[in-house]
Structures are given as structure tokens and as C-alpha cells.
Chains A and B, each alone.
Chain A
Amino acid sequence: MIRRIAVTLAGPVVSVLLALLVTTLFLTIGGYSATSAYEVMWNYGIEPASLVSALNNAVPLYLAGVAAAFALRMGLFNIGVDGQYRVAALAGAVVAANLPLPLYLRLPITLIVCCVTGALWALVPALLKVYRGVSEVITSILMNAIATTVVAILLADVFRSGGGQNTGTAIIGAEGAMPVLIDLGIGNRTSITGFLVVAIVVGILFYLIQYRTVFGFTLQVASRSPEAAESAGIKVNRRIIWAMLGSGAIAGLVGMPHVLSTAFRFDGTLPTDLMFTGLAAALLGRSHPIGIAVGAFILAFVERSSQVLGLVQLPTEVGSVFMAVILLSSAVGYWLTERADQRVALWNALRRRRRETPPPAAPLPTGMEATR
């Protein structure tokens, strides 16, 4: 138990420390004082408005992280989260603006449409992997490029609302937007989005499906030992398809906090690269729903607090560097701790065997006892 917790924590701690180290080096070589930079960032980051902003920004990162983790637990890299959420966000924006239903029906339907759209977009790489053996990494990246084009065409020719410079879908009114969860009322922009609830629900569902259902168990077996899965009657190919569908469905929600709480329409301001940060959160959190939440918040916090650096003549790229190193080192840290963990397990097994083997006569009588 202690070992499990240590292994779970070691990865993220190693990667955050590595990221701090590299960022410090980066600042020092650039002739800046790292300590003062961190001090400014921290002071700005813990302001209530910053914390609320970090929390709101963490929500889409969390969703992206959980989406990536859903596929990761089946051993698949869904690099197509970006494309999936962009297509889904467009569909969601259209439904939210046009569905003639009250909010309590319109909002759930909007979110379901997003999930279905994202899942369908993820189905393509899954089918190609199962039937043609193409790596899901390659195809889902290609699907991102296709998504960009498809969304641009649909936005320009079909769903564009208004004329002139206007390049967005119709505005979503209060009847279709996500309500504010709490408005702290301490200065401007301190309202927490209702998507926090969505994220929590998704996290709980992720946990239940992956850790508590027979389906989650079969996913684990299929990813760790496809041969054992097949012999146990678990169809690995079907698990691949379901894992990608689940991942795509969650990914479909990633763009919606922006559409339903910030822009109130689909337009060019939708962030296009939430996946990599989300993937970093998933790796930091070792694909565990709570770990990913912590990872997403740390990343959103760094992103937010690094914005202040521009005001004090320090490079704002510090945030990006930090995040890039986290993404790199979380993979490395993960790998390192995994290796260390396996070493320890192997070592224990060998030691146990060495203890068991020398007296071959001793274990025999009880070994025979199983005869009865």
C-alpha cells in the first residue's frame, strides 16, 4: 500500500521538480532572477481572481486529460482529442443556439450531441486500427487536420451567422448557455462555471467505469495482456473500439466550457491545442481521475500566474517552458518510476524464491496436502 502511494506520487513530484529546475536554468541563463520571478508568479497566482480563473481554465484541461486517460488505460494514445473537441464544439454550438427547448432539456441534449460527435470522430481511428492495423496515433493526428478543414468549411458556408467580419455561429442565449455555478462577487470575473459540475461528474463516471465495472476490468486485461484477454473470452478489438469511443465522447466536451461559458458561440477564439496540456495532466496524474484533477489545476495555475511576468519585464514564455518540460518529464518520470517499481517487484520475487528453494524437502508435505 505504502509502495503504491509512493509510486503514484513519485512520478508527478519528479516531473514538477524537473520542470522547476529547467525553468530556473532557462531564467538564470537569460539573466533573470528565478526566485523573484517565482515570487511574483506565486503572489499573483494566489489572488482570488487568479485562483478562480485557474479553476475555470483547469476544467477543459481536466476533460482533455480524462479523455486521453480513457484511451491510455487501454494502451491507446488518442492524439485526436483536438480534432474531436473542435468538431463536437461546432455541433454543440449549433444545437445550443437553435434547439427550441428549455434550458434543462437543451443543455443535456447539447452535451450529449457533443459526446456523440466526439465519439464518432474517434471511431475512425479505432476502426482503422482494428481492421487495417494502422496506428491510432497517426490516424488521429490526421483526423485533427481533417477536423480543422471540415470545421472551417462548415463555419464559413453553413453555420455562419450574420455577415461582414462575423465568423462565428449564432449567439447562444441564456436559454442555451451553461449557468454560472457560484459568483464569488469579489471583483470582476470571479464566477465559477457550471462546467465544474460536469467535470466532476465525468471524473466520477470515469472512475466507476474504469475501476469498478467488469468493462473496466476487461479493458485493463486487454491492454496488459491481449493474449490472456483473448483466452479469457475478452475480444481485444472490441475493447479498442469502446476505449476510443469513450475517449472521443469525453473529448467532445473539452471545447464546451469555452462555447457555453465564455464565447457563447463557436468562433475563432476557441483554443485549438488543449489536448497537449490535457495529456500532460493525464500523465502527471497517472491516468487517475483525482491525479488528473491535481495535474490540470497545477498546469492551469502555472499558465495563469505566468501571465503576470510580462508586467514586471520577465518573459511570459516561462509558463510555456514549464509546461513543455512537464509534458516531457512526466513521460520520463512515469517511465522511471514504473521501471523502479518493476525492479523492486522483481527483486522481491527473486528474494522470496531464494528463501523458498534451498530446503526442497520442507514445502513438500504441505504441497501434497492439496491432494485431499
Chain B
Amino acid sequence: MSLLSIEHLSLSIGDTKILHDVSIDVCPGEIVAITGESGSGKSLTALAVMALLPRGSVTDGHIFLENTDILRTSERDLCRMRGCSMGMVFQEPMTALNPVQTIGDQVAETIIIHEKTSKLDANIRATAMLRRVGLNVNPSRYPHELSGGQRQRVVIAMAIALRPKLLIADEPTTALDVTTQATILELLKDLVTEFDMGLLIITHDLAVVAEIANKIAVMQDGHIVEAAATYDLLHNMRHPYTKSLFNAATHKVILPEYIPAPPLLSVESVTRTYNLPRVTVFGSRPTFQALAGVSFHISHGERVGLVGESGCGKSTLTRAILGLEEIQEGQILLDGQPVFTKKSLNLPARRKMQVVFQDPYSSFNPRHRVDRLIAEPLHVLNDSIVGKYREKAVSKALEDVGLTPEDGTKYIHEFSGGQRQRIAIARALIIEPELIIFDEAVSALDVSIRAQVLDLIAGLCRKRQLAYLFISHDLSVVRTITDRVMVMQSGKIVEQGDTEQVFSNPQHAYTQKLIAAAPKLPEVTYNVEVI
């Protein structure tokens, strides 16, 4: 008999219908994954099981946990169930813990509120549970002293402290680095076997789904479009949406061939050290070396990728190249000119470089119209372009990225995330730069939108000679969109070379670890009978 069975669950908030007739079963010891793009309703399904839906939610159907229908249980009894027979792990480990309470107390709290036991006993059990989830730090530590992966272990320890029958994990590894992600997934799998729990995992990452789940449910617009055992689903996909989703995730673009050319950007033994706050009162300030002698170059028309985990110095390097960050040693030259001279930006060099950032929602000033936003880089040109020509340049940039000139008169909130990223590219293109920095430019996008934006970038490369530095934590994307790749660790570039070669035959131990940790989507086959 199944442990959790969601039967014909419908949910609406206000007048908006969010979920339609959702049915899912989870058995003890089984891992069931719900996947889909943002807005598909997968997270709300998870919250419905915990009965932690937002105010004003109206539900219909049944959610049985063993024999209790959660939708028809009083709040008092639900509180007894949460943390005891069902636990939950959230996406954002940085904010999921109370900043002013020790991690030991937070884990012990789960035990104290459900069992009549002494504080001492709860603390001992909490410490043991923290060890069990692989966290060997003092339980009297505070959350801010731990890394993201460590905090996620604390959240897991809290959720399973009473060995619940059901664990729900909402994007548990999305905010983590690949190597950390691998260990957390491993931990979750072990816990499921050891405790004979049911695990309902919500994730947009199909590779994670394929790797961990016994059963997969694909959601779109509040419907479950397809649900089957993992192997069956991967090798016998029926629904067109599932297919398009998996297609997009493994999307490959066709880049024009790179013709060797003279260097455009050269970064020469660049060093950036930060001063940290003093630890003792009169001691010298400790320092942190974000960049330790980084050297590389990008040639005209060359597409280079940069991968590495958080804290490796990627963002400092990006900011240094853009001239937003001072460097202490070394130099950065663009076409032979330094990007940064004596505290001020070097405008002639600026004209050859533009940037596209990660977050399509924070990339634009919400108070300006799109045409003004796109025209902003024209500021760096000597004789600023005015009137008709400016209008033409804006229209052309919009058309280049697949939008219409009329879109220039709208405001940014009228566009979706994918469209905004197109507008960001249009803004970068308007001064026809030689080099574009893509700083995690597709990381915030859903897979299908991501595929479109990658196609757009490849298309631009075919139209004109364009060099770019593509920074991403997503190895599969870097693999398809670059000619050459650099791997960064602790402020150094540990390996660089031809993209295919590095990925198929990594030399450095760190690169090997990174590639091994990244979850891979297995070859999928499609059922040809159904259209």
C-alpha cells in the first residue's frame, strides 16, 4: 500500500486555478520526483502535502498520508504530523535557518515539540542526527558560520530528526554547487533506504530527476501530463511536452567554426586580494585571495567558457574584466588597451565590450522604457548617436534578437524572463561590441527558454564575428556553446583547453571531480507511435 497518495488534487488561490486533478502515489522506500518548468505548480503540490499552502488557497480532492486525509485534518493535528510523520527540506539553505539560534537547538526543537523528553536528551539526539547527515561541526554553531551545503544538511537533520515516514524536498540542491549537490543527493538516497522513508522530490533539473528518482511525474500548467517509473518514462516518452522538455535539456547548438585569430582580450597574471575583518583586536587583517595570478586570452571571434563553483573567483574575474573591480597586480588588455586606468574606466576599451547578466528581473531599471534601456550603452560612443540613427540602431538590435521595433515603447515588466534576456542581449549588441561577457546569462531560465536563447547566441555568431566569455556553473550548457573552456578553482585557472577535449578527457583532478559530480541525463528514446 502506498504511503502517500494524492488523489485528484485541485487547488485555486483567489480566482486562479493552480492545480488540476493531480494524482501521485509514493510508497515507503521510494523516491518520486515531480518535475516541470517554473509556474507548473510543482512546489505548491509539495506545500499542499505539508498543508502549508498560502492563505486563501482552496483545495479539492484527497491527500492521504497512510490513512489520514491531510485536507480534512484540523490544524492542531497537522502540527502534530509535521516534523513527526512528514518532514520537509527547502530550496534556499541560506535563509531556511533561524539566524539567531544555534543549529543544535534548531534540530533539537523538532524533537522537543513532539516528544515529552528532556532538553538534554533532545540535544544528544540532535547531535547524533547532525553526525548522521554528515555534519561534523559543533552543534553550538550558528547558521552564518556554515556553508550552503552544511546548512542544507542541518535542514535535512531537522526534517528527519524523528524519522518521518515521508520526506518532501523542494529543489533541495538547486542553490548548491555541483559537487555539493552530488553529496546531498547521495545523502538523501541513503536516508531513504536506511529509514525506509518515502521521498517526494521537486526539481526542475531533469538530470537530477533521472539520477535519483524511481518514479517521475512531469507537470505542466498544474496538470500531470505524464507519470511513470523512471526507466519507462525515459525510454518510452508519450506526451509531447515531456519530449520537448527533455529535448530542450539536451539541446545542442551549431556554432560556426572558429578560425584562429589574434588575441582580443588578454588577462595577464591578475591578482585580487580582499582584506577581511580583523580576528583579534590589534592583529593584522587576514586576507583572502580571490584571484591568484590568472592569465588567459580570448581571440577575435573565439567563444570561451569559464566554469567553477561558487567562491572560486569567477565573479571577481568577471567584474575585473568589466572594469568594475580594481586589481592589485597584472593587467587586463582589450585589443591592446587596458580596461582600467588609474581608478577610471578606459572608454575606448569599453566600446568593444558588453555584458549580459544572470537575473532577467534585476537587469533593467523598471522605470525606463525598453528603447531607452537598450540605447544606454550608446553612452560610451564618442559622438553620441541621436535622433533617427539612434532609433534605427534600437530597432535593429531588437530585430536581431527576435523582437519587434514596437517592443521598444513598452516597459520591462511587460516581458517574460526569456524575452528580458533577449532584450539584455539586444542592449549588449547595440554598440556592436567585439566581446560579450555572458555572466550566467541562461542560468535563471527554464530549459525550453534556455534552448531558445542558446540558439539565438549561436545564430548571432553565424551572422557576425563575435567573441564571448560564457560564465556558467552548468557544464552541459558550456559544452555546447563554447570552443574552449577554462576551469577555475580557488582563484586559479587549473585547466584550459578545447571544450570537447576537456570534457571527454579531463586532466586536472578538480576538473575530473566536477565532471563526475554533474548529474547526467541518460540517452532518452522516444515512443514513435504517439505523435
Partners in one complex: no
- Which B residues form the contact surface with A (CB < 8 A)? none
- Which A residues form the contact surface with B (CB < 8 A)? none
